[in-house]
Amino acid sequence: MGYDELKECSRTVLEESRNSRMMNSETNRSNRRTFIGGVTAAGVGSLAQVRAAKADTANEKLVVGVMGMGGRGGALAKSFHGLENVEVAMVCDVDHKRAEGAAKALAGGNNKVEAVTDFRRILDNRDVDVLVIATCNHWHAPAAIMGCAAGKHVYVEKPCSHNAHEGELLVEASKKHKRLVQHGTQRRSWPKIVEGIRRLREEKVIGRIYHAHCHYTNRRQSIGVGKVGDPPAHLDFDLWQGPAPRRPFKSNMLHYNWHWLWHWGNGELGNNGVHYFDVARWGMEVDFPTRVYHAGSRYRYQDDQETPDTCDVTLEFGEKGMISWRSTSCAPFQPAESGTFVTFTGEDGTMVIKGSGYVLYDGAGKEVAREDGPGGNDVHTQNFVDAIRIGTPLAADASVAHVSALHCHLGNISHLVDRRLKCNPEKGGIIMGDDEAMGRWKRDYEPGWEPKV
């Protein structure tokens, strides 16, 4: 599926979701599950009826269930819970201690939050309108696809998929079930970054852009060498593994180090690189690459980590230019102004996306503008809520999510097969002339768990 087709899928979903809210308001009040974004065969009535339906939708409470109550899940639950007329009614984690702790943290006054360990309880609850997914990466797309099929709108953390095939399925699921999907690449909603990208694309403030450079640093420590054993009693490890073929529990896996194990995670590329690639390709107005190359490995520590801690990844887009991403996960030094995120190089100047804003330089390297603004989660979750209620365009829909995550998957595939990849941008970025590499487009699944649309 090409990018134009992906965007058409998302446009169709949003348009049908808008149309569904224009049904008779009396009917809406009698069936809130259809009313909140559900697609109906009912025709649009008079202008007065349409306006009444829109007003009712905007005022209707949205009920949210959150899956995965770690740091991101807790932050997103708090964000949604704080939005006007939005209620987090259910929280889920396969670690029942985390689920119960999250429910207590959100509850207050007359507000009661139900804690569950199986997210299918959220899917079965017809009062829940939105599924928020902040689990481990191998659960992101399968849960999102199931959520769409269950009639929920979905907010899914980055990366939206564990592999390229899952991203394609997510786009299909959003279209088939007419559900909105928002990706957790929140910079797409930050006002001053939106302004900066608009200035790049519409005002051409640095002329033709031909390079976007990203540099990620951290001070991660060794994950050590884990011991195989029984999982803790408060953890449903079988459900934690879910779609992934079963492997034994190791003492150093949870709740974070799965990121560095290919079976469940996508390394630093999938963990943080997706944010960078998303902004870089947004500013450069590029989608599927023509060539991808990864150089790097695990150098700093000798432990159980399988994914690289140091790497350079390059994506080429023919005559449109290139995106490069450098990661030093175990060394925090950055040879640029602190907070630099993505640096765009154009024929007439440079723009640096920094923090929650941007800095603009002319062709001689002189600073000519510096802007900053609000960031965080709330502006992005509000965009999602507004899309459901009043048809505001999503900042990061399923098609945007898939392409940005695909950049990371292609970089990881290049590392795993140890060579440059040639991709076909006219056919969704598929890898050409390399069966081994293309064999990593999809993963194996635990029987009965393979996602389908």
SS3 letters across 269-311: HHHHHHHHHHHHHHHHCCCCCCEEEEEEECCCCCCCCCCCCEE
453 residues of the chain, pLDDT tens digit each: 554 555 565 556 656 655 544 443 333 333 444 334 433 222 323 333 333 344 446 668 999 999 999 999 999 999 999 999 999 999 999 999 999 999 999 987 778 999 999 999 999 999 999 999 999 999 999 999 999 999 999 999 999 999 999 999 999 999 999 999 999 999 999 999 999 999 999 999 999 999 999 999 999 999 999 999 999 999 999 999 999 999 999 999 999 999 999 999 999 999 999 999 999 999 999 999 999 999 999 999 999 999 999 999 999 999 999 999 999 999 988 777 777 999 999 999 999 999 999 999 999 999 999 999 999 999 999 999 999 999 999 999 999 999 999 999 999 999 999 999 999 999 999 999 999 999 999 999 999 999 999
CA distance 273 to 43: 45
Domain boundaries, the chain: 3-188+380-398, 190-223+250-374+404-438
Q: Is 325 helix (H, G, I), strand (E, B) or coil?
A: strand
Q: What is the pLDDT, as a whole number, of residue 4?
A: 58
Q: What is the pLDDT, as a whole number, of residue 51?
A: 36
Q: What is the pLDDT, as a whole number, of residue 370?
A: 97
Q: What is the pLDDT, as a whole number, of residue 161?
A: 98
Does 190-223+250-374+404-438 match 3-188+380-398 at the fold level? no
Q: Quote the crossing angle between the two packed helices 274-284 and 191-198, to the nearest 10°.
A: 40
Angle at 31 between CA 25 and CA 33, to 5 degrees: 115
* Rg (alpha carbons) of the chain, rounded to whole number: 22
Q: What is the pLDDT, as a whole number, of residue 246?
A: 98
Question: Torsions phi, psi of 401, nearest 5?
Answer: -60, -50
DSSP string, 184-215: S-GGGG-HHHHHHHHIIIII-TT-SEEEEEEE
CA distance 259 to 155: 20
Q: What is the pLDDT, as a whole number, of residue 109?
A: 72
CA distance 10 to 395: 11
**Token digits of residue 395:** 């900042």
190-223+250-374+404-438 under CATH 3.30.360.10, yes or no: yes
Q: Which of 340, 333, 322, 377 shows the shortest CA–CA distance to 158?
A: 377
Stated pTM of the model: 0.90
The fourth-level CATH superfamily of domain 3-188+380-398 is: NAD(P)-binding Rossmann-like Domain (3.40.50.720)
The answer to whether 174 and 181 have CB atoms below 8 angstroms apart is: yes
Q: Is 337 helix (H, G, I), strand (E, B) or coil?
A: coil
CA distance 38 to 260: 39
Angle at 151 between CA 145 and CA 153, to 5 degrees: 70
The answer to whether 100 and 115 have CB atoms below 8 angstroms apart is: yes
**Token digits of residue 121:** 């309880």
Q: What is the pLDDT, as a whole number, of residue 335?
A: 75
Q: Is 230 helix (H, G, I), strand (E, B) or coil?
A: coil
Number of C-beta neighbours around residue 211 at 10 A: 15
CA distance 102 to 192: 32
Q: What is the pLDDT, as a whole number, of residue 19?
A: 54
